[in-house]
Amino acid sequence: MASLLFFLLLLAISTTEAQQGESNVNLGSFLTPTTNSLWLSRSGLYAFGFYQQANGYAVGVFLAGISEKTVVWTANRDNPPVLADATLNFTTDGRLILQSAQGKETNIASPSDSATSASMLDSGNFVIYNSNKKIIWQSFDNPTNTLLQGQRLKAGNELVSSVSESNQSAGIFRLAMQTDGHLVQYPVGTPDTAEYSYWASGTNGQGDNVSLCLDDDGHLYLLNSTGTNIKNLTGGGYPTKDTIYLMRIDADGIFRLYWHNLDKNGNFSVIWSSSYVKCDPKGLCGLNGLCTINDQDANCLCLPGFASVDQRNWSSGCVRNFTAESCKSKDGNMKYIMQAVPNTVWEDNSFAILSILIKEDCETACLEDCNCEAATYKDGICRKQKLPLRFGRRVLSDLNIAFIKVGISTSTINRTEPMGREEKSGKNILILGISLGAFGLIMSVISGIAFYRNRVWSYRRLSNSGNVGTSMDASPRSFTYSDLEKITNGFKEELGRGSSGTVYKGTIWNDQKIVAVKRLEKVFREGEKEFQTEMKVIGRTHHKNLVCLLGKSVDWDLPEEEAILEEWAYYCFQARELSKLVSDKEVDKKQLERMVKVGLWCVLDEPSLRPSIKKVLLMLEGTVDIPIPPSPTSLLSTI
């Protein structure tokens, strides 16, 4: 009898613990935004309840056990935030409703049976039970933008991005688990067809009822109805202890797998990403917008002739900054021109396709067509289009040229163009100015020749008289490096050394006059300054015990191909001959290569390709990898 009572006691205790672990929300329970605002999971990691959004509150599931409060599910996400006087009720008749102070009710969950209890599980799943402890509704079946460990995105369902990290309303991108087994990303509001997709798993036709699954070890994969893994997105095998994983389609349209170590107070880190080019998601910059890459981040611009609707929300796109008039009317206040935008692509929605040899003819064809508002030209094909232009982005490797029709007010043109006599007078002044300028240029050339000849004769006179040391008639002339090399016979005979250079014996004027040539050898800031000061002092001083300065050279012994520094540096980098760039044999080769690569990125002509100062510092520190820089003379660096 005692054994039976002990068994019943153990059964009662275990049942109570199970109920506490699985059913911690009873009928009649309620929450408010300011007091008693959430129902925690057993470990306290996840919570269901109110969280702050904008100037109000929303209801959802979020991570409460870490410093970075991350929302993973939102109820009625497109409804406006509620005020602080709202109440979340789990009513006595088993309904979960959000009630305003005015009595307006909104369903949070619609279970298939009468509810008796609910629970916030440690998996992040909020569930509602019937009287038999069977789950009749769960948040895992209604995902918004996130998948958690143990959760599946079933066939026919989709995840939709949020507007931003702080606004959980539905955004403009979706990840669809199609019934044909294909996992595909599209812009919101587009058909499930290939021309609108910007990422796909490539698993169409590989099984029925395929689901996207996330396991506890970070394994993200596609599973068909027979239990066969048809594709791994990540290999899994990541740590499971004190670690959580979540997959989310972010506001920028890319879906990523994140992990977080619960023992540390850091942020979520990315394990895997569907794309690493942030302009890949179609429609990121809205209608008539253009997505460009700047330091690996997406940057939205408006096409010529357009202005942003809302610079805080670029997905709202751009609108024309002029009022369009019929191009058939010659008496209107608008004149149209075409503006070219290279390396630009957008959705092909052309109404006419022409075979044209040169791009100028494509530009003219659109300008003269009142129905044409933009055109693209590539490989002899001209495509005419109407507004709006969708999915615009710059692709530097694409030779496609876009032409945008832009309107200019004729009143603006008239203010800048002279009329009648003023126009004629302006032309006369222009002709007269050009004539005077040409005459002045000719006189300058003649004067220069005369000055040069006089200077040469002066030096010859000095040479013949032998009175070089005391003459004041001639100023120091400029020598090239090759001149000095001939004078000294290749810097052969050394006369002495100084702190900044070496003095060599040389002869000038058919070996009739002996001179001393000092060459600056160690180019450092103080040495060069000292060398220049020495030239200035000697040039101004005339004394019987001091030689006279005949000339100077600021030329360098560089081949022609080394004259342009970035091209020479890139050549040395490509040929693995970076030692040519430095005179110090003891330099750290890895550090030198890192600095050269960073420098080559920083001097590219295209501003969008140059790294930011922050990125440069990280590159120099070795914190981030440095991609191989393009050639300074390549197409990529000249666009």
**Is residue 587 included in any domain, yes or no?**
yes
Token pair of 27, please?
């009928």
* Category of 477 on φ-ψ map: left (φ > 0), alpha (ψ -120 to 50) or beta: beta
What is d(CA 31, CA 147) in angstroms, rounded to the nearest whole number?
Answer: 25
pLDDT (mean) for 378-394: 94
Residues 107 and 242 placed together within one structural domain of the fold: yes
pLDDT-based confidence at residue 602 (cuts at 50, 70, 90): confident
Is 593 a residue whose pLDDT tops 90?
no
In which element (H, E) is residue 18 found? helix 2-22
Confidence band, pLDDT 50/70/90 cuts, at residue 199: very high
CATH number at residue 479: 3.30.200.20
Query: Which band of pLDDT confidence, cut at 50, 70 and 90, is reported for residue 444?
Result: low
Q: Which of 5-14, 449-458, 619-628 has the highest mean pLDDT?
A: 619-628
Boundary residue ending a domain (524, 552, 580): 552
Question: Is position 10 within any domain?
Answer: no
Q: Is there a contact between 391 and 403 (Cβ–Cβ < 8 Å)?
A: no
- The rounded distance, in Å, linking the Cα atoms of 618 and 7 is 65
Q: Nearest CA to 63 among 267, 274, 270?
A: 267
Per the domain annotation, does 190 fall within a domain?
A: no
pLDDT of residue 463: 44
Task: Tell me: pLDDT of 340 over 90.
Answer: yes
Asked if the structure places residue 130 within a domain, the reply is yes
Short-list 20, 138, 38, 25, CA closest to 92:
25
pLDDT tier, 423 (very low <50, low <70, confident <90, very high otherwise):
very low
Looking at the structure, tell me whether residues 113 and 240 fall in a common domain. Answer: yes
- Tell whether the model's pLDDT for residue 591 goes beyond 60: yes
Query: Do 483 and 615 share a domain, yes or no?
Result: no
Q: Would you say residue 325 lies in a domain?
A: yes
* HSE-up of residue 233 (Cα within 13 Å, Cβ side): 27
Average pLDDT, stretch 96-102? 92
The secondary structure element, H or E, covering residue 405 is strand 401-409
Is the residue at 294 inside a domain?
A: no
Give CA–CA dist 448/442, Å, rounded.
10
Distance CA(551)–CA(474), nearest Å, equals: 10
CA atoms within 13 A on the CB side of 507: 8
Contact 160, 174 (CB under 8 A): yes
Ramachandran class of 564: left when φ > 0, alpha when ψ lies in -120 to 50, beta otherwise: beta
pLDDT band at 16 (very low <50, low <70, confident <90, very high): very low
Residue 553 has pLDDT above 70, yes or no: no
Of the candidates 88, 119, 87, the residue with the CA atom closest to the CA atom of residue 101: 87
Q: What's the pLDDT tens digit per position in 517-541? A: 888 765 544 555 566 666 655 655 5
Residue 128 within any structural domain of the chain? yes
pLDDT band at 66 (very low <50, low <70, confident <90, very high): confident
Q: Output the pLDDT for position 537.
A: 59
Q: What is the CATH number of the domain that holds 348?
A: 3.50.4
Mean pLDDT of 10-21: 38
* pLDDT surpassing 50 at residue 638: no
The pLDDT of residue 285 is above 80: yes
* DSSP string computed for 143-209: -SSEEETT-EE-TT-EEEEESSSS--SEEEEEEEE-TTS-EEEEETTS-SSGGG-SEE-S-TTS-SS
Total domain count for the chain? 5
Same domain, 264 and 392: no
Residues 107 and 237 occupy one common structural domain: yes
What is the overall mean pLDDT for the chain? 80
Q: Are residues 101 and 241 in the same domain?
A: yes
Query: Of 532, 552, 572, which closes a domain?
Result: 552
Portion of the chain with pLDDT greater than 90, in percent: 46
Residue 529 is predicted with a pLDDT of: 56
| Best-predicted range by mean pLDDT (258-267, 375-384, 558-567, 575-584) | 375-384
Which pTM value belongs to this model? 0.63
Residue range(s) defining the domain that contains residue 379: 304-416
**Residue 24: is its pLDDT beyond 70?**
yes
Place 558 in a pLDDT band, splitting at 50, 70 and 90. Answer: low
pLDDT attached to residue 206: 86
Q: How far apart are alpha carbons 611 and 294 in whole angstroms?
A: 8
Q: Which of 134-148, 233-247, 445-459, 478-492 is modeled with the greatest confidence?
A: 134-148
**Residues 477, 446: one domain?**
no
What pLDDT is recorded for position 26? 94
Instruction: Say whether the peptide bond before residue 388 is cis (omega within 30 degrees of 0).
Output: yes
* Burial of 540 from C-beta contacts in 10 A (0-12 / 13-18 / 19+): exposed
| Residue 193: per-residue pLDDT | 94
Sheet strands side by side (includes 255-261): 146-148, 243-249, 255-261, 269-273
pLDDT of 505:
85
* Final residue of a structural domain among 416, 441, 476: 416
CATH no. for residue 602?
1.10.510.10
Residue 624 and residue 506 share a domain: no
- Provide φ and ψ at 413, rounded to 5°: -65, -45
* Average pLDDT for 265-293: 92
Least confident of 145-149, 348-352, 455-459, 492-496: 455-459
Q: What pLDDT sits at residue 10? A: 35
Ranges of beta strands (E only) in 166-325 are 170-177, 183-187, 199-200, 211-214, 220-223, 229-232, 243-249, 255-261, 269-273, 289-294, 297-302, 306-308, 318-320
pLDDT of 84 above 60: yes
How far lies 490's CA from each of 483, 503, 519, 543, 555, in Å?
A: 10, 13, 12, 30, 15
Instruction: Give CA–CA dist 391/290, Å, rounded.
Output: 8
Whether 256 and 248 have beta carbons less than 8 Å apart is answered as yes
Average pLDDT over residues 419-442: 53
Q: Is the dihedral of CA 100, 104, 108, 112 positive or negative?
A: positive
pLDDT value, residue 458: 52
Could you tell me if 412 and 543 lie in one domain? no
**pLDDT-derived band at 575, boundaries 50, 70, 90:** confident
Query: Are 51 and 161 found together in one domain?
Result: yes
What is the per-residue pLDDT for 106? 94
pLDDT, tens digit, 9 for 90 and up, residues 208-242: 899 999 999 999 999 999 899 999 999 989 998 98
Q: Can you give the CATH number for the domain in which 158 is found?
A: 2.90.10.10
Type of residue found at 278: K
The mean pLDDT of 138-153, rounded to a whole number, is 97
DSSP at 1? -
* Together in a domain, 541 and 584: no
Residue 525: CB atoms within 10 A of its CB come to 7
Examine residue 311 and state whether it is found in any structural domain, yes or no.
yes
- By DSSP bridging, strand 87-90 and strand 152-153 are unpaired
The verdict on 53 and 155 lying in the same domain is yes
Question: For residues 114 and 95, what is the distance between their CA atoms, to the nearest angstrom?
Answer: 8
- Choice among 110-114, 177-181, 619-623 with the minimum mean pLDDT: 619-623
pLDDT at residue 509 is higher than 50 = yes
Kindly state the average pLDDT of the residues 376-400.
Answer: 93
Whether the per-residue pLDDT at 599 is higher than 60: the answer is: yes
429 vs 586, more confident: 586
Determine if residue 231 is labeled as part of a ligand binding site.
Answer: no
